[in-house]
Structure 1
Amino acid sequence: MRNILPVLTVVLAIFAIWYAAAIGLNKAWAYDKAERAGIELNASDLVADTWSQDKPRLPVPHQVAAELWKTTGAMVQRGRAFSKRSLLWHGWITLSSTLLGFVFGTGLGILLAVGIVHSRAMDMSVMPWVIASQTVPILAIAPMIVVVLASMQVDDLIAKGVISMYLSFFPVVVGMVKGLRSPSTMQMDQMKTWNASRTQTFWKLRLPSSTPYLFASLKVGIAASLIGAVVAELSLSQDGGLGARMLVGSYYGQTIQIWSALIGAAILAALLVMTIGVMQRMTLTRMGMTA
């Protein structure tokens, strides 16, 4: 209970600020409607109006929750869980490209990390470029990737996976490099005493030691991959995915739809990170480490 109370306090504070901010941002439209209707709003009428507008500047939590239910639970009840109006369908499209980009990014990140740790030339030449790659805004590079891959007739799913990979490989590289270099000098000297080869040292010492670092970086990588998938959907301008749903909502001023897709993406990210966390605990427990 003592662990839950601080979390509930923060959540309640966020909701209170959210509702208060909605009044401030939505009151202009409420006053405008009242002026045209020739009526005067009191405080309670103002609050009721700003919390129930069809296209508010800032929708309130209960409006977002209602939209989430309308596009998920209600769709499931009607047997239309994967219709194009269902947030589950859009979420599945985003999830597909997220996982593909995550696999690409994890594989590339691990390969680069192994090369950087075992080759001084790669450490001096590749690592600076890996860091520099993250200084380029994804919103700037995503359209270029889409155009290049489209000219090569690459499937949209692969294109979104490549954009997701661009964001997800970096934390894996950094985490794995740190993890592969985590064995102490004494441990490395002991492997030399046993006349272990570099391959044996890698599999028996470096890789097991890097496992906690790998899972920590995977949690960051899966979240970054989701961001890349959403950005890719904005660039591809297709009719599926959470990013595309946000884009359509912005075209028609449907802020509630935008926020529901945004909260849906946040929920999806939380579930993915929790999944990685479960895998981490299982793996480290099996290896005799503390998760």
Structure 2
Amino acid sequence: MTAAADIAPATSASLLQRAAAGNTLPILIVLGALLLVWYAFTVYLNAPWQIDAYARADTPWTAADLVRDTMAQERPVLPAPHQVAAEIWKTTAGTPITSKRSLFYHAWVTLSSTLLGFVIGTALGVLLAIGIVHNRAMDKSVMPWVIASQTIPILAIAPMIIVVLNAIGLSGILPKALISTYLSFFPVVVGMVKGFRSPEIIQLDLMRTYNAGGAQTFWKLRWPSALPYLFTSMKVAVAISLVGAIVGELPTGAVAGLGARLLAGSYYGQTVQIWSALFMAAALAALLVGIIGIGQRMVMARMGEKA
């Protein structure tokens, strides 16, 4: 009995030491601090309305009452973390996936246009990068336009894209996907141009010494050298592609998707709904970036890179 009692504290101490030695404990400390700040701002921002409600009802109140009631308002200025968590639970685990009240349903609608735009943007970015690296005219003419294209605010151009495409009979997922494409191709172009130009002069000279052609140099030297840049660019591109899909849902009057969920929440003052949709979007972006990270480790390990 004594030995078993001694093992439990030792195990707990070992777990704490491992958590402190790694990233777990610092992350938990930061999350805890953020939650405390969030709760503090919840009370601060919701207090004026609550105090006014007490005054209108001529109800006596204490500081404890104020703290409790500011965290339980139906339409708060800033919802408390537990309110957002309860809304996420209700609209995911507590709602059928096929229901239009389910966050999974709305996330899938947004994800479909995100992935289509991401695939098109990645392919377009790689093709443009190949042309820029291998053609001096494209380097001098196309690259400045690629950079200039990102100076146009997406909120300004999104309605124009939607209106023009609807005028020629294109609606549904494609207009939103093209907005995602517009945002996602840029990091891929920039990253892949850098990647294709990453081989050193001596490596290129060695390929010429072996009498390698342009295609052989590309596939055996430039492409393997550019793969780390490709995956890094894809991580940025998939996250910004999700932003493009959400923005594309705002001017269309869409009834499904995370953007539509955000818009409906803003119309009816449902701040808890807005925050739950934001957290679902963040989780979706993290999942997509994580999947690309797993693919990167698998591909680079296959190429012989050590972890």
The reply to whether TM is greater than 0.5 is yes
Aligned with 1:23: secondary structure? helix
Pairing 1:113–2:129 present: yes
TM-score by length of 1: 0.97
Alignment of 1:191-230 (within 5 A): 191-230=207-246
Does the alignment pair 1:66 with 2:86?
A: yes
CA distance in 1, matches of 2:123, 2:253: 28
**Structure 2 CA distance, aligned partners of 1:40 and 1:179?**
67
AA partner of residue 207 (structure 1): W
Q: Secondary structure at the match of 1:135?
A: coil
The amino acid across from 1:88 in the alignment is F
**Pick aligned residue for 1:15 from 35, 38, 62:** 35
Aligned residue for 1:248? 264
Mapped to 2, the partners of 1:47 and 1:248 lie a distance apart of 28
The Cα of 1:236 is off from its aligned counterpart by 1.1
Aligned to 1:150: 166
TM-fit CA distance, 1:47 = 0.6
Of residues 158-167 and 38-47 in structure 1, the stretch that sits farther from structure 2 once superposed is 38-47
Distance in 2 (alpha carbons) for counterparts of 1:290 and 1:242: 39
Q: Are residues 1:172 and 2:188 paired?
A: yes
> What is the CA-CA distance between 1:40 and the residue it aligns to?
3.2
Q: Hey, what's the Cα distance between the residues in 1 that align with 2:34 and 2:27? A: 11
List per-residue Cα deviations over 1:232-258 (Å, max 9, x = no partner): 011211100000000000000000000
Q: Give the counterpart letter for 2:287 in structure 1.
A: L
Counterpart Cα distance in 1 of 2:131 and 2:263: 40
Deviation, 1:124, is: 0.8
Deviation readout 1:44-76 (Å, 9 max, x if unpaired): 11110111100000001100000000000011x
1:273 maps to a residue whose letter is V
Identity between Structure 1 and Structure 2 (%): 62
Alpha-carbon offset, residue 155 of structure 1: 2.8
**TM-score normalised per structure 2:** 0.92
Bigger Rg over Cα: 2
Which secondary structure does the structure 2 equivalent of 1:235 belong to? coil
- For 1:29 and 1:290, how far apart are their aligned partners in 2? 58
Give the Cα separation in 2 of the matches to 1:134 and 1:170.
8
Q: Tell me how far apart the structure 2 counterparts of residues 100 and 21 of structure 1 sit (CA, whole Å).
A: 39
After superposing on structure 2, the runs of 4+ consecutive aligned residues of structure 1 that deviate more than 6 Å are: none
Please report how far the alpha carbon of residue 174 of structure 1 lies from its aligned counterpart in structure 2 after TM superposition. 0.6
* Alpha-carbon distance in structure 2 between the residues aligned to 1:36 and 1:263: 35
Spell out the pairing of 1:60-139 with structure 2 (5 A cutoff). 60-75=80-95, 80-139=96-155
Cα distance in structure 1, aligned partners of 2:265 and 2:159: 20
- Determine helix, strand or coil for the equivalent of 2:73: coil
Partner of 2:9: none
Structure 2 residue aligned with 1:54, among 58, 74, 85?
Answer: 74
Identify which of 271, 282, 302 aligns with 1:266: 282
How far 1:290 sits from its partner (Å)?
3.9
Distance 1:41 1:152 in 2: 61
